[in-house]
């Protein structure tokens, strides 16, 4: 077992001494005396780095593999295409990036708690072995709900919209603190959460249930609670996506969203959660690849907009923390400029951290070219070295504040007692139990009466339908599972209808049944057709929306409708308990549900939620 305290490269005094030892050699690259009020130890580190090293420290990269020194052929081949070297340790030795971002798939960095902690420690050992030892940022997206890069046995928190349905900021804080503790036990020191977007558009394809809802005040309360929780858990929260990604029908991964809010609408709808986060002392804010003409008429996405990042975020809102770009491989930031220009423009706009450089059309990574482009911009006077130093200092200051200079390592001896601890799992289940929302109970079907014997569980998701069937079966019913997918074809719907006719009850699970727009990959009308066909059998049907609560607009004739906001095991267990009356449905809609063909008509308002007997 690796014991991190055997090596104290993380000691701030030792790091400063190492920086001092090389300051003379690096003197030609220094950008002047330390600014007044700044930590001289961190300033010496800045001056100890070459220009190329300083620029590299601004980047957070993705690598392939499940260890810092992987020799897996597929991972090595992918890393060579991206960086010209085999693995994370070699990336550090060649480039000295500021950090790494873990993914659960493509690339798959996560196998299990011990593996992930060892991976993190391997990265930190490589970082601390360099000429000037600087601990690495190790980040991931562990929002909870539908975005969770670290799977079980790690505790799975309800997602943002689910927590908002529970209306308990204390739950949001508790689950963020638990998530932070578990991530830190795995060596992860920054979480790209919470989401401060106000989901004003039900057709939003990229935010949706990742948002706490459509009410700015509610979003602000939940965001600030999670900021407190993540920091108490030992990780850096990252509030996203400034200036607000909640009112768009375009996914910034695949296109360039355009937000049509006026300046007044933006200040009323999008700004309040970010203003509250800044007042709470937010450590990091992530940008959005969105065009907001009311804030910057140039047509540049916010990530590249000086009027937005510097003019509004820095100057007007007085934000002094780290600004992180959203991933630079997303189409929302790549459409207007070449990949080499993007980091230069992001730095000119006011960003500090450059996240996840892309590969070009041939699959070759552009990180080295981006490094060279930023260095050339400094040499040509488009950027100054002092500007690079400002961002680097903010990043180092954040690492110090998070304790990484003292000890950047994961204590592998504490993993089993922390990750997925029984008390953590119980807290997640209690919180999930307060989120299930009974939207409709017109037939007074719920709670289910004794004697319900044959139950068909059908609809989206093998895991979701299987988990629900197991929970229903545990309560004495005989269950049949018929999973139909996101876009069930007519034949599969026919099979579900035939099975329904022989059942006492049908439970139909949906996932974004509303997503039937033709201009992008979609679920199609199959889920809507499935639910309508099941209702037409005359059998009692309970519809459970396992993601967005808006699905009811596509089959308003459904008499019984629950919203869980995600398909985690905790959410589905709570839904089953609500079905049988063991748990009172306490969730209230954090958004309004509009009519399908008339968005101006509200079917179910913000705050709606039923108890039994209504």
Question: What residues act catalytically?
Answer: 253, 326
- Planar angle of CA 474, 477, 483, nearest 5 degrees: 85
**Residue in the structure block whose two tokens are 């375009």:** 250
Tokens of 229: 């929780």
CA torsion 349-352-356-359 (nearest 10°) is: 50
Please name the residues in contact with 250: beta carbons below 8 A apart, sequence gap of 6 or more: 205, 256, 257, 258
Sign (positive or negative) of CA dihedral 228, 251, 564, 190: negative
3-state SS class at 206: coil
Cβ atoms 210, 143 nearer than 8 A:
yes
Q: Rounded to an integer, what is the distance from CA 500 to the centroid of its chain?
A: 38
Please name the residues in contact with 417: beta carbons below 8 A apart, sequence gap of 6 or more: none
**Residue in the structure block whose two tokens are 């130093």:** 389
> Distances from the Cα of 47 to the Cαs of 29, 38, 476, 554, 584, in angstroms?
7, 13, 69, 60, 60
Neighbours of 378 (CB within 10 A): 21
Q: Rounded to an integer, what is the distance from CA 430 to the centroid of its chain?
A: 22
Q: For 258, which DSSP code? A: B
DSSP 533-599: HHHHTTS-EEEEESS-GGGGGG-TT-SEEEE-SS--HHHHHHHHHHHTTSS------SS-EE-SS-T
Please name the residues in contact with 8: beta carbons below 8 A apart, sequence gap of 6 or more: 14
């Amino acid at each position: 077992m690796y014991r991190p305290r055997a090596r104290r490269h993380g000691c701030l005094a030792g790091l400063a001494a190492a920086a001092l030892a090389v300051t003379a050699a690096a003197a030609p690259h220094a950008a002047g005396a330390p600014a007044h009020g700044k930590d001289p130890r961190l300033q010496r580190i800045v001056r100890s780095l070459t220009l190329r090293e300083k620029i590299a420290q601004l980047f957070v990269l993705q690598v392939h593999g499940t260890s810092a020194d992987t020799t897996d052929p597929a991972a090595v081949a992918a890393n060579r295409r991206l960086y010209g070297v085999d693995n994370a340790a070699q990336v550090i030795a060649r480039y000295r990036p500021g950090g790494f971002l873990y993914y659960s798939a493509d690339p798959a960095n996560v196998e299990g708690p011990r593996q992930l902690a060892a991976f993190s420690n391997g990265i930190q050992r490589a970082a601390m072995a360099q000429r000037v030892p600087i601990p690495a940022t190790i980040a991931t997206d562990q929002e909870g709900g539908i975005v969770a890069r670290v799977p079980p046995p790690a505790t799975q928190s309800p997602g943002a919209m689910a927590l908002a349905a529970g209306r308990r900021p204390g739950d949001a804080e508790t689950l963020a603190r638990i998530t932070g503790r578990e991530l830190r036990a795995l060596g992860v020191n920054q979480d790209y959460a919470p989401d401060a977007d106000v989901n004003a558009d039900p057709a939003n394809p990229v935010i949706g249930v990742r948002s706490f809802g459509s009410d700015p005040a509610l979003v602000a309360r939940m965001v600030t609670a999670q900021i407190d929780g993540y920091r108490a858990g030992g990780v850096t929260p990252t509030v996203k996506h400034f200036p607000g990604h909640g009112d768009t029908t375009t996914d910034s991964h695949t296109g360039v969203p355009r937000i049509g809010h006026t300046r007044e609408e933006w200040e009323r709808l999008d700004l309040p959660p970010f203003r509250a986060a800044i007042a709470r002392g937010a450590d990091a804010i992530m940008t959005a690849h969105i065009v907001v003409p009311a804030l910057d008429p140039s047509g540049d996405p916010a990530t590249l907009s000086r009027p937005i990042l510097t003019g509004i975020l820095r100057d007007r809102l007085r934000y002094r923390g780290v600004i992180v770009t959203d991933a630079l491989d997303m189409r929302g930031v790549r459409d207007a400029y070449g990949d080499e220009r993007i980091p230069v423009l992001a730095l000119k706009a006011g960003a500090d951290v450059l996240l996840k450089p892309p590969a070009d059309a041939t699959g070759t990574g552009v990180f080295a070219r981006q490094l060279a482009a930023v260095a050339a911009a400094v040499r040509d006077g488009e950027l100054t070295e002092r500007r690079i130093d400002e961002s680097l200092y903010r990043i180092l200051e954040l690492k110090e504040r998070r304790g990484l200079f003292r000890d950047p390592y994961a204590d592998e001896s504490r993993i089993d007692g922390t990750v997925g601890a029984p008390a953590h799992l119980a807290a997640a289940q209690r919180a999930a139990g307060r989120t299930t929302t009974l939207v409709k109970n017109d037939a007074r079907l719920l709670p289910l009466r004794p004697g319900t014997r044959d139950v068909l569980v059908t609809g989206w998701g093998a895991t979701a339908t299987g988990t629900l069937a197991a929970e229903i079966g545990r309560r004495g019913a005989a269950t049949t599972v018929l999973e139909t997918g996101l876009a069930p074809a007519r034949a599969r719907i026919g099979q579900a209808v035939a099975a329904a006719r022989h059942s006492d009850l049908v439970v139909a699970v949906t996932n974004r049944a509303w997503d039937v727009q033709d201009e992008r990959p979609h679920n199609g009308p199959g889920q809507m057709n499935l639910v309508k066909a099941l209702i037409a059998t005359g059998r009692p049907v309970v519809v459970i929306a396992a993601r967005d609560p808006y699905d009811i607009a596509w089959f308003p004739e459904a008499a019984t409708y629950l919203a869980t906001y995600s398909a985690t095991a905790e959410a589905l267990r709570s839904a089953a308990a609500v079905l049988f009356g063991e748990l009172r449905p306490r969730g209230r809609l954090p958004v309004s549900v509009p009519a399908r063909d008339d968005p101006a008509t509200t079917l179910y308002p913000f705050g709606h939620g039923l108890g039994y007997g209504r």
